Amino acid sequence: MAKILRLPQDLALALDILQNGQVIGIPTETVYGLAGRIDSKRALELIFQLKHRPATHPLIVHVGQTMQSSRDLKKAKLIVDTHPLIDRLIKTFWPGPLTILTAKHPDVSPRVTGGSSMVAIRQPRHQDASILLAAAGPLAAPSANRFGHTSPTTAEAIELDVDVIDGGPCTIGIESTLVLVHQTSLEIMRPGIITTEALEQLAPVVTSHHTLQAPGSLPHHYAPRKPLFVTDTPMTGAIALILLNGSSKLPAWQQSATIVHTQILSEDGDSLMVGRKLYTALRTADASCCDSIVIEPPDTLHGPLKNALCDRLKRAKSDT
Residues in contact with Mg ion by CB under 5 A are 143
Tell me whether residue 40 or residue 143 sits nearer to Mg ion (CB atom).
Answer: 143
Selected from 43, 132, 136, 141, the binder of ligand TXA by CB under 6 A is 141
**Burial track 280-306 (b if 16+ CB lie within 10 A, e otherwise):** bbbbbbbeeebbbbbbbebebbebbbb
* Residue pair 40/135 in contact by the 8 Å Cβ criterion: no
Question: What is the distance between the alpha carbons of residues 219 and 115, in angstroms, rounded to a whole number?
Answer: 22
In the list Mg ion, ligand TXA, none, the entry touching 176 (Cβ below 5 to 8 angstroms by class) is: ligand TXA
Shortest distance (Å) from residue 194 CB to Mg ion:
17
As measured in angstroms, the least distance from the Cβ of 216 to Mg ion is: 6
Q: Where are the beta strands (DSSP E) in the chain?
A: 4-5, 24-26, 33-37, 60-62, 98-103, 118-122, 139-140, 163-165, 177-181, 186-190, 205-206, 228-230, 239-245, 258-266, 292-295
In the window 50-109, what residues touch ligand TXA (CB under 6 A)?
A: 57-60, 99, 101
Residues in the chain: 320
Q: Judged by CB under 6 A, does residue 178 bind ligand TXA?
A: yes
Q: Tell which residue, 133, 132, 157, has the closest CA to residue 145.
A: 157
Least Å from the CB of residue 84 to Mg ion? 30
Among 37, 83, 111, 122, binds ligand TXA (CB under 6 A): 122
Does 119 participate in binding ligand TXA (rule CB under 6 A)? yes
Rounding to the nearest 10 degrees, give the CA dihedral for residues 17, 22, 25, 27. Answer: 60
* Position among 142, 167, 269, 275 found at the interface with ligand TXA (CB under 6 A): 142
Going by C-alpha positions, the residue among 73, 85, 72 that lies closest to residue 183 is 85
Q: Is 187 in the site for ligand TXA (CB under 6 A)?
A: no
Give 143 or 247: the residue with its C-beta nearer to Mg ion: 143
Stretch that binds ligand TXA, among 2-10, 138-146, 231-239, 306-314 (CB under 6 A): 138-146
For residue 154, state whether it binds ligand TXA (rule: CB under 6 A). Answer: no
Residues that bind ligand TXA in the complex, under the rule CB under 6 A: 28, 30-31, 33, 57-60, 99, 101, 113, 116, 118-120, 122, 141-143, 175-176, 178, 190, 212, 214-216
